[in-house]
A and B are shown apart, each in its own frame.
Chain A
Amino acid sequence: MNLLVPILLVATLTGLGLYAVIGRRHAVMVLIGAELLVNAGVLLLVIGDLRVAAATTGTPLLTGQVGALFAITIAAAEIGLALAIVLLLFRARGTSDLRDVDSLGEAVERTEASS
Chain B
Amino acid sequence: MSGIDWVGAGFALLSGLAGLAAVTSRKVVHAAMWLVVCLGALAGVYLVLGAEVVALVQILVYVGAVVVLVLFALMLTQAPLSRADLDSPRPVRVLAAVIGLAAAGLVGAALTVGQPLTVAGGVEGRARPLGLELFTSWVLGFELVSVLLLAALVAAVAVSRSLDRPDRGR
Residues of A bordering B, CB below 8 Å: 1-20, 22-26, 28-29, 31-33, 35-36, 39-40, 42-44, 46-47, 49-51, 53-55, 58, 60-63, 65-66, 68-70, 72-81, 83-88, 90-92, 96-97
Q: Which B residues lie within 8 Å of A19 (CB)?
A: 23, 96-97, 99-100
16 cross-chain CB contacts under 8 A: A2-B5, A5-B12, A6-B45, A11-B108, A15-B103, A23-B95, A24-B87, A25-B87, A26-B28, A44-B111, A65-B130, A66-B138, A73-B148, A80-B153, A83-B69, A83-B156
* Neighbouring A residues of B62 by C-beta, 8 Å: 35, 39, 72, 76
The number of A-B residue pairs with CB atoms under 8 Å apart is 258
- B119 contact from A31, A33, A51, A73, Cβ within 8 A: A51
Using CB atoms, name the residue of chain A closest to B4: A1
B residues 14-33 touching A (CB-CB < 8 Å)? 15-16, 19-20, 22-23, 28, 31-32
Which partner residue on chain A sits nearest B71 by CB separation?
Answer: A28
Interface string of B17-57 (1 = CB under 8 A from A): 00110110000100110010011001001100111011001
C-alpha spacing A43/B16, complex, angstroms: 13
Knowing A23-B92, A84-B160, say if A13 contacts B51 (CB, 8 Å).
Answer: no
Measured in the bound complex, the distance between the Cα atoms of B107 and A61 in whole Å is 24
* A88 in contact with B49 (CB, 8 Å): no
- Take A55-B116, A80-B156 as given contacts and tell me if A66 and B35 are in contact as well, using a CB distance cutoff of 8 Å: no
Contacts A28-B79, A58-B120 given; indicate if A13 touches B16 (C-beta within 8 A): yes
Question: Lowest 8 A-B CB distances belong to which pairs?
Answer: A23-B96, A15-B104, A11-B108, A77-B152, A19-B100, A84-B156, A22-B96, A15-B100
Measured CB to CB, the nearest residue on chain B to A4 is: B117
Q: Which residue of B lies closest to A77 (CB)?
A: B152
Nearest residue in A to B77 (C-beta to C-beta)?
A90
Cβ contacts under 8 Å, B159 to chain A: 81, 84-85, 88
Known: A7-B111, A23-B88, A25-B87. A66 touches B155 (CB 8 A): no
B18 to chain A, nearest CB (A): 10
Please state if B149 and A88 are interface contacts (CB–CB under 8 Å): no
Q: Which of B5, B35, B141, B155 contacts A1 (CB 8 A)?
A: B5
B32 CB, min distance to chain A CBs, angstroms: 7
Given contacts A1-B4, A13-B19, A35-B66, contact A88 B12 (CB under 8 A): no
Write the nearest CB–CB distance from A72 to chain B, whole angstroms: 5
Q: Is the CB of A69 within 8 A of B108?
A: no
Identify which of B38, B133, B151, B156 contacts A62 (C-beta below 8 A).
B133
